[in-house]
């Protein structure tokens, strides 16, 4: 393992939202809402700044981090920063600011109850996500993974009604079962190899575990990741969780939860097992075919959904499987693409969800068939929606293109024509399910009947939408703009497969 330089920044980053969460829970009901939201921002901005400040070190290939204490006998609670974690951290910390701003607009515009619990749980989710990003070993990772599972639950049951309760139970059933199996997998792996730390390219040797056990452990361990990432047939909690308010969906789909699932799969496949062992035990093949099936089926389901959020949810299920597929192809290009797709999908999908939320708050319409001509009333929102849709479909000069192109190149280099075909077909399918929304929204005949006046959503909602939409365009044209995310992704991809830049 590379020696890590002592640096407490990762710890502070994890601590900031934790403190914010506790403060909000304790004080939330006693102070003015403005102050309460100020706590969120007071944590979010320094956190993002700290994350950005570590980019140069990560780009230079230096591993920084620190060991807090021995969390169980022989395994420390250890944080370190590497390129892959850095990408996820950048995305999550940036989008926390954006989503918080949007949440304020949405929650107040919609007059929601239980806002204190909402902001508190939200900050807790970010704590867990940041912990995931910077975890240096499996146990630390698992601790934050479970914290994330629990912290998301109050968000899913936000409305405290029958449907919310049911979705909450479903969510818990899927995530807790898979989480516990993950636990069993970690224990068995640890007993065989005696190691826990993440190493680019993995530390499991093909001879470490006898064969049937190896596949079993592999499946146990990726199970948690693919449940959270919504890979079919384990996806059904994700559309059910749509009952939650839209910012929660945005968080679930773009920022934290499903990405945590994808990230977990990445860590397990490429940093624990490594390409060698994953190929040896045939686990990666199974994973790849599951991802392919998910990409195709979910797109087909999405076409049939009239509820905009449901359609977007199935789109997420499909898009997340791109990442899984990119991981399972086991080539440097595909891994780079998978990592960059975490960024790409985050910006695209959060734009789409925030647009859906803006439409709902302004016009109280959920279904696509009721949105004919809505572009007249909300031109800015719908323009952003259009941009993001094009990005999802993978148009050149949009962020989705860069990542998909990389995954496709990876598939070509590994000689997998079927995967290439899948990716291209799914891009077309994405057009098929997202373009009708855009077309209906801008349909000329209905301009004056349903949406006569031009009335956008309120500013706290509109500004985040514009920012993220702009990002998905800018990052498409210049993948290395600002935070050097593409560079980080490429670094991580090369490190895993032992290539030098």
Q: Least CB distance from residue 162 to another protein, whole Å?
A: 10
CA angle 336, 342, 347 (to 5 degrees): 130
Stretch that binds another protein, among 56-64, 145-153, 201-209, 347-355 (CB under 8 A): 145-153
Distance of alpha carbon 166 from the chain centroid: 23
* DSSP helix/strand/coil, 137: strand
Subset of 16-35 contacting another protein (CB under 8 A): 25, 29
71: contact with another protein by CB under 8 A: yes
Q: Least CB distance from residue 180 to another protein, whole Å?
A: 4
146: contact with another protein by CB under 8 A: yes
Of positions 11, 17, 168, 200, contacts another protein by CB under 8 A = 168
Please say which residue, 160 or 455, places its beta carbon nearer to another protein. Answer: 160
Stretch that binds another protein, among 47-55, 91-99, 165-173, 363-371 (CB under 8 A): 165-173
CA angle 157, 161, 165 (to 5 degrees): 45
Of positions 6, 32, 60, 69, contacts another protein by CB under 8 A = 69
Stretch that binds another protein, among 168-176, 266-274, 384-392, 426-434 (CB under 8 A): 168-176
Q: Least CB distance from residue 28 to another protein, whole Å?
A: 10
184: contact with another protein by CB under 8 A: yes
Please say which residue, 159 or 446, places its beta carbon nearer to another protein. Answer: 159
Q: Least CB distance from residue 351 to another protein, whole Å?
A: 31
22/173 Cα distance (integer angstroms): 26
Please say which residue, 164 or 201, places its beta carbon nearer to another protein. Answer: 164
Q: In 364-499, which residue ranges form alpha helices assigned H by DSSP?
A: 374-377, 379-393, 399-413, 417-441, 459-477, 485-496
φ and ψ of 416, to 5 deg: -125, 75
165: contact with another protein by CB under 8 A: yes
Of positions 150, 293, 297, 470, contacts another protein by CB under 8 A = 150
Residues 467/350, Cβ–Cβ less than 8 Å: no
Q: What is the DSSP string of 27-80?
A: HTTTS-HHHHHHHHHHHHHHHHHHHHHTHHHHHTT--EEEEEEEEETTEEEEEE
Of positions 8, 110, 160, 306, contacts another protein by CB under 8 A = 160
219: contact with another protein by CB under 8 A: no
Stretch that binds another protein, among 141-149, 257-265, 373-381, 387-395 (CB under 8 A): 141-149
If binding means CB under 8 A, how many residues of this protein chain bind another protein?
32
Stretch that binds another protein, among 64-72, 328-336, 360-368, 409-417 (CB under 8 A): 64-72
Residues 501/491, Cβ–Cβ less than 8 Å: yes
Residues 298/318, Cβ–Cβ less than 8 Å: yes
Stretch that binds another protein, among 140-148, 221-229, 234-242, 410-418 (CB under 8 A): 140-148
Tokens 């049951």, residue? 157
Subset of 449-488 contacting another protein (CB under 8 A): none
180: contact with another protein by CB under 8 A: yes
Q: Least CB distance from residue 150 to another protein, whole Å?
A: 6
Pick the closest to residue 145 from 65, 227, 242 (CA basis): 227
Q: Least CB distance from residue 363 to another protein, whole Å?
A: 29
Which 8-state DSSP code applies to residue 282? T
181: contact with another protein by CB under 8 A: yes
Look at the alpha carbons of 349, 49, 463, 471 in this order and tell me if their dihedral is positive or negative: negative
Tokens 């021995």, residue? 70
412/431 Cα distance (integer angstroms): 23
Pick the closest to residue 121 from 264, 245, 262 (CA basis): 245
Of positions 41, 45, 52, 190, contacts another protein by CB under 8 A = 190
Tokens 């734009």, residue? 351
Core vs surface per residue 30-64: b (16+ CB within 10 A) or e: eeeeeebbebbeebbeebbebbbebbebbeeebbb
Q: Least CB distance from residue 76 to another protein, whole Å?
A: 9
Pick the closest to residue 398 from 374, 371, 434, 366 (CA basis): 434
Stretch that binds another protein, among 39-47, 160-168, 241-249, 420-428 (CB under 8 A): 160-168
Residue 439: both structure tokens together: 């077309």
Of positions 13, 54, 91, 147, contacts another protein by CB under 8 A = 147
Distance of alpha carbon 478 from the chain centroid: 21
70: contact with another protein by CB under 8 A: yes
Pick the closest to residue 501 from 59, 4, 54 (CA basis): 59
Of positions 177, 380, 420, 435, contacts another protein by CB under 8 A = 177
154: contact with another protein by CB under 8 A: yes
Please say which residue, 7 or 146, places its beta carbon nearer to another protein. Answer: 146
210: contact with another protein by CB under 8 A: no
Return the CA Rg of the chain.
Answer: 21
Bond into 233 cis (ω within 30):
yes
Q: Which residues bind another protein (CB under 8 A)?
A: 25, 29, 69-73, 139, 142-143, 146-147, 149-150, 154, 157, 160, 164-165, 168-169, 172, 176-177, 180-181, 183-184, 187-188, 190-191
């Amino acid at each position: 393992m590379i020696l890590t330089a002592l640096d407490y920044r990762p710890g502070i980053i994890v601590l900031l939202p934790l403190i914010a969460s506790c403060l909000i829970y304790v004080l939330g009901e006693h102070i003015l809402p403005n102050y309460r939201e100020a706590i969120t921002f007071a944590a979010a901005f320094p956190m993002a700044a700290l994350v950005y400040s570590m980019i140069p070190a990560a780009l230079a290939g230096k591993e920084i981090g620190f060991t807090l204490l021995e969390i169980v006998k022989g395994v420390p609670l250890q944080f370190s920063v590497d390129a892959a974690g850095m990408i996820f951290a950048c995305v999550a910390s940036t989008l926390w600011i954006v989503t918080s701003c949007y949440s304020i607009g949405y929650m107040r515009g919609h007059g929601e109850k239980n806002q204190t619990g909402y902001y508190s749980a939200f900050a807790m989710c970010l704590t867990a996500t940041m912990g995931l990003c910077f975890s240096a070993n499996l146990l630390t990772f698992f601790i934050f993974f479970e914290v994330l599972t629990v912290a998301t639950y109050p968000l899913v049951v936000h409305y405290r009604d029958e449907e919310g309760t049911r979705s909450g139970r479903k969510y818990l059933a899927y995530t807790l079962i898979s989480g516990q199996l993950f636990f069993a997998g970690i224990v068995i792996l640890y007993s065989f190899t005696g190691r826990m730390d993440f190493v680019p390219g993995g530390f499991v040797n093909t001879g470490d575990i006898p064969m049937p056990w190896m596949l079993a452990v592999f499946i146990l361990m990726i199970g948690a990741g693919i449940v959270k990432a919504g890979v079919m047939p384990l996806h059904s909690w994700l559309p059910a969780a749509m009952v939650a308010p839209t910012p929660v969906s945005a968080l679930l789909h773009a920022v934290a939860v499903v990405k945590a699932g994808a990230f977990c799969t990445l860590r397990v496949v490429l940093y624990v097992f490594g390409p060698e062992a994953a190929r040896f035990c045939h686990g990666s093949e199974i994973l790849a075919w599951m991802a392919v099936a998910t990409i195709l089926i979910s797109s087909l389901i999405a076409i049939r959904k009239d509820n905009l959020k449901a359609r977007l949810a199935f789109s997420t299920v499909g898009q997340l499987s791109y990442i899984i597929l990119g991981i399972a192809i086991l080539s440097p290009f595909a891994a780079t693409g998978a990592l960059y797709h975490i960024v790409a999908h985050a910006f695209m999908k959060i734009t789409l969800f925030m647009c859906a939320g803006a439409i709902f708050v302004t016009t109280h319409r959920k279904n696509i068939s009721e949105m004919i001509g809505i572009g007249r009333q909300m031109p800015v929102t719908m323009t952003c929606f259009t941009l993001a849709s094009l990005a999802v479909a993978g148009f050149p000069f949009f962020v989705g293109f860069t990542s998909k192109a990389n995954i496709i190149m990876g598939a070509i280099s590994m000689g997998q024509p079927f995967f290439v075909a899948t990716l291209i077909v799914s891009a077309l399918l994405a057009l098929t399910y997202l373009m009708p929304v855009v077309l209906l929204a801008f349909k000329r005949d209905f301009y004056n009947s349903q949406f006569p006046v031009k009335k956008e959503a309120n500013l706290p909602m509109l500004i985040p939408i514009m920012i993220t939409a702009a990002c998905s365009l800018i990052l498409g044209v210049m993948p290395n703009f600002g935070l050097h995310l593409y560079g980080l992704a490429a670094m991580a991809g090369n490190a895993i497969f032992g290539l030098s830049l």
